[in-house]
Structure 1
């Protein structure tokens, strides 16, 4: 009987560890997508999303092509920072709510832009990909209060 209880406890423990690892991994495509945006790498942007990707960007509906068309070379370099609010995995679908900060810097100017965002990620062929993103830009000069960001 003790052996059976030990196996059950180990199974539950390993399942909990696996679920926690999945939740850690679901943010990877978000990070990959914004790194590709920073590097103006349209192929890597496409690689981070699935075929049905939609971006709800500050009151507009964007396809991946719309998103790519908005990402062009400029005098600014972009550094990304994130603060995850919550995440949850249900089967092959993940839900993430987070703050996004981009520092845009040129030789003459540096500015921070902030968004409150949520994504739905799906596991496709064993890899997490962004299916949908909702992004609300905060007013200029109004960063979120009490949020600690981590550099990408």
Structure 2
């Protein structure tokens, strides 16, 4: 009986560890940036990035101030979904590759937009900050079929 209980506990711990590593802790900063962008919260957007932050957005180089300029109030609701491809986590640096899906809903309209993205995050004074975000918008219908998006 003890062997069964021990094996079951080991199994639960192993599954829990695998699920915990599905997203690195630093990924929350990326989620926050996109949520603050949706909320048009410029100060909190600034709080998610390093001073030297660069966004490589579909062939253009943007700073956080460039991103803030396009963040304007709207009656469109953006909901983000992600699928982590892989990540490399070190004590003070994380690189993350992921798919991003945003649903833009407005009254009776809804549209999904997809990106392939990668990010570099640095731990600065104990806080994960984005130093670089690379974002390539995908053409309609070009999302791989096997990608599973999660909020």
1:53-110 deviations in whole A, cap 9, x for unaligned? 0000000000110011111112311001111111111331110000011000001310
Paired with 2:132 and 2:24, the residues of 1 have a C-alpha distance of 18
1:111-151 deviations in whole A, cap 9, x for unaligned? 00000000000000001000000000001243332110111
Paired with 1:122 and 1:28, the residues of 2 have a C-alpha distance of 13
Query: Matched residue pairs, number?
Result: 132
RMSD: 1.6
Give the TM-score, by structure 2 length: 0.82
2:80 aligned with 1:80? yes
Q: Unaligned 5+ residue runs, structure 2?
A: 1-16
Paired with 1:129 and 1:75, the residues of 2 have a C-alpha distance of 29
Paired with 1:141 and 1:43, the residues of 2 have a C-alpha distance of 35
Give the TM-score, by structure 1 length: 0.81
Paired with 2:71 and 2:56, the residues of 1 have a C-alpha distance of 16
**What's the counterpart of residue 40 of structure 1?**
40
1:24 aligned counterpart, secondary structure: coil
Find runs of 4+ consecutive structure 1 residues off by over 6 angstroms: none
